[in-house]
Amino acid sequence: MSAAAPAAAAQAAIAAPDAARDFRIAFAIMTALLIAAPFVVYPVFLMQALCFALFACAFNLLIGYVGLLSFGHAMFMGFAGYIAAHLAKVGSIDFTLPLIGVGPHWRFGPLPPLVAIAAGVVCSALLGLLVGALAIRRQGIYFAMITLALAQMVYFFCLQAPFTHGEDGIQSVPRGKLLGIDLSVDLSMYFFVLAIFLTGFLLIYRIIHSPFGEVLKAIRENEARAVSLGYSVDRYKLAAFVLSAALSGLAGATKSLAMQNASLTDVHWSMSGEVVLMTLIGGLGTIFGPVVGAFVIIAMLQYLSPFGQWVTIMQGVIFVVCVLAFRRGVIGELAAVWRKSL
């Protein structure tokens, strides 16, 4: 061990409490702003932005802390959205295969919102387990292409399955009630979505700063060294993939109830590209970066919609500017400036 190693370890031990303190301050500020936001900004827009922010945070857990780039992550968000919307509206499960015409079918009546969301999360986690078990056998661009190919298969299933209603999607999804509170009121639904977002956000923070998260970072930095230290790298990758899929499903299931619809848009490959853009603009490998990136992209789609297809060009310009001028993303650059000022 070099003489610099003990000094570096001591420096890291000193910096850890400061980082935790900075996180608590930033989290408190973010929470206060989000609590006050619906009294100033349209709550439905905020609900959509929060769902995408959670989706981006879940994606960032995989790419930012494990180094795995998935080009098909929208399948988890969109599939969970379909499951939650269908169970909240109809309350039956019909997985009849499109070409064969056979499959299980159960009918039990509409489910409460929390149960419908939980079912969506479980389904996305199981889908993540299946996809992850196949995809983690490869690395780099091959991993990305496998996830994209499997996502296209899920898209085809959602297009053909009877319970998804094809291109029409599932419309007029009831929000239901929670502990006697009518979630059809936008303000009530907003705080329900905010509670889910904050819970998922804190869970991701805890995962990142746990011993499990430290192993994930070690795999990202030097996978061969992690293997030489005795870690089962494939198991850690699979666990991270399933967690990311489940949290993406949480975002998708919540969105389907908040926006009262589930459509092919959320499971399309272009949505996987949107979440990559959100993460890179906000700051790859930062805890708050995906939240900022999601709000920027959703605000552009919402308020620049009169420009039609020009919005896509504007997104491309912003992406190029961020890559050239803000290599670490908005939050990454701000954090670097903050560290230099100390």
Pairing of strands 177-178, 92-94: unpaired
Residues 160, 234: Cα–Cα separation, whole Å:
33
pLDDT for the residue 291: 92
Closest to 175 measured CA to CA, from 122, 250, 117:
117
Closest to 195 measured CA to CA, from 287, 136, 117:
117
pLDDT for the residue 168: 84
pLDDT tens per residue across span 236-265: 999 999 999 999 999 999 999 998 888 888
pLDDT for the residue 165: 82
- Average pLDDT on 322-333 reads 73
Compare 122 and 336 and report the one with higher pLDDT.
122
Residue 154 pLDDT > 50: yes
Count of residues making up the chain: 342
Under DSSP, the state recorded for 111 is P
Q: Could you tell me which residues come within 8 angstroms of residue 329 by beta carbon, excluding any fewer than 6 positions away? A: 279, 280, 281, 282, 283, 284, 286, 289, 293, 322
Amino acid at 222: N
Under DSSP, the state recorded for 173 is -
H-only helix segments in 259-306 = 269-282, 289-303
Under DSSP, the state recorded for 297 is H
Pair 137, 235: CB distance under 8 Å:
no
pLDDT tens per residue across span 201-212: 999 999 999 999
Pair 326, 319: CB distance under 8 Å:
no
pLDDT for the residue 286: 86
Express as a percent the part of the chain with pLDDT over 90.
Answer: 37
Helix (H, G, I), strand (E, B) or coil at 285: coil
Helix (H, G, I), strand (E, B) or coil at 107: strand
User: What distance, in Å, lies between the first and last C-alpha atoms of the chain?
Assistant: 30
Lowest pLDDT segment from 17-26, 180-189, 219-228: 17-26
Q: b vs e for 312-326, b when ≥16 Cβ sit within 10 Å of the residue's Cβ?
A: eeebeeeeeebeeeb
Residues 338, 154: Cα–Cα separation, whole Å:
43
Residue 6 pLDDT > 60: no
Identify the band that residue 90 occupies on the pLDDT scale cut at 50, 70 and 90. Answer: confident
Cβ-count burial of 238 within 10 angstroms (0-12 exposed, 13-18 middle, 19+ buried)? Answer: middle
Q: Residue 261: beta bridge partners?
A: 171
Domain range list for the chain: 15-267
Q: Could you tell me which residues come within 8 angstroms of residue 266 by beta carbon, excluding any fewer than 6 positions away? A: 74, 77, 78, 81, 252, 255, 256
pLDDT for the residue 104: 56
Identify the H or E element spanning 199. helix 186-208
Residue 105 pLDDT > 60: no
